[in-house]
Amino acid sequence: MTRIFSGIKPTGHLTLGNYLGAVRRWAEVDQHRADALFSIVDLHALTVEHDPARVRRLSRQAATLMLAAGLDPARCTVFVQSHVGAHTRLSYLLECTATDGELRRMIQYKEKSVRAKAAGQSVRVSLLTYPALMAADILAYRTDEVPVGDDQTQHVELTRDLAERFNLRYGPTFTVPRATNPPVAARVMDLQDPSSKMGKSHESGAGIIYLLDEMDVVRRKVMRAVTDSGREVEYDPVAKPGVANLLEILSACGGGNPSELAGVYESYGSLKQDTAEAVVELLRPVRARHAELAADPGHVDKVLKEGAERAREMARPVVDAAYEAVGLLPAG
């Protein structure tokens, strides 16, 4: 059976981008067709300045939202990365496989290190080594597929390179995974700045739809989305990125492809109105289920505990084999 791994960082409240680009597909498709693991990758949230209490709160919230979105612990494994020691154990071996140049070429490292410096902060070593930990997250489970939004494709490509290099040097140990992107909304853009991704850790809340935003707030954010000059509704991501983003969101909510949808609208206003309502309807059941689950944190904790136990069992033999392959004495 195909093995799938994917994760979400507790760096902010989950956004429409996380939902359309990842979580919805995990729930609707991936958990039904594969042996899937979905992780709250909390260690990755420590690569930039963070507030410990907030990370803890966001981790539980992310888990609750993942379940609210339809992940079913009877079908897939939902767990917190830091509960499974195999990830950091394997990460070190992959740091010994990756090169400094490879890690420095990662777009996310470049962008985030520039951002940290601009904010007068120092750049943590873990920001540079982040892709080695992400590779460990994936390779520890002999993962075949990694469903991600296209912002993570470069990291999955590096994971492939590291797996191949390791296998070549030390013998077949890891499955070489591949990234899969959702058919639409692989990259939902910020409504106020359609040149940048709708990212949950980004500052401008006005351009970001959070899954737990009140319905009126969702409507207001969509209605105030930046559109482009001209009046015609066309699907042209280069010339009209704001309108294209709305069309992609609408398409992801209700079907129909963005170019066809463009032909249906005569004004930006009516496009925004329909997009706002489509997003509100999409999120309504998730919010309702979240409210039920949030009232029973013991249930979420139990799911995470059982998920971590399953994940540990799966990862242990793979990581032990990797330790042995590089020449380390078995612990006995």
11 binds ligand AQP (CB under 6 A): yes
**Which residue number places its CB atom closest to ligand AQP?**
21
Overall size of the chain counted in residues: 332
> How many CB atoms neighbour CB 281 within 10 A?
12
Considering only 152, 159, 192, 227, the residue that binds ligand AQP (CB under 6 A) is 152
Kindly provide the residue ranges of all beta strands, DSSP E only, lying in 16-136, ordered along the sequence: 35-40, 76-80
Q: Is 221 annotated as a binding residue?
A: no
Task: Give me the least distance between CB of 20 and ligand AQP, in Å please.
Answer: 6
Would you give the end-to-end CA distance of the chain in angstroms?
Answer: 31
Among candidate residues 49, 45, 51, 57, the one with its CA nearest the CA of residue 8: 45
- Asked if 200 is an active-site residue, the reply is yes
81 binds ligand AQP (CB under 6 A): no
9 binds ligand AQP (CB under 6 A): yes
98 binds ligand AQP (CB under 6 A): no
Binding to ligand AQP in span 17-56, by CB under 6 A:
17-18, 21-22
59 binds ligand AQP (CB under 6 A): no
Evaluate whether 150 touches 17 at the Cβ level (below 8 Å). no
Q: Is 18 annotated as a binding residue?
A: yes
87 binds ligand AQP (CB under 6 A): no
Considering only 188, 276, 279, 322, the residue that binds ligand AQP (CB under 6 A) is 188
Residue 146's H or E segment, with its range, is strand 145-147
Cα–Cα distance for residue pair 245/243, rounded to 1 Å? 5
CB neighbour burial string for 248-257, b if at least 16 within 10 angstroms, e if fewer: bbbbbbeeee
- Asked if 240 is an active-site residue, the reply is no
Which sequence positions are flagged as catalytic? 112, 197, 200
The binding site for ligand AQP (CB under 6 A) comprises: 6, 8-9, 11-12, 17-18, 21-22, 108, 148-149, 151-152, 185-188, 197-202
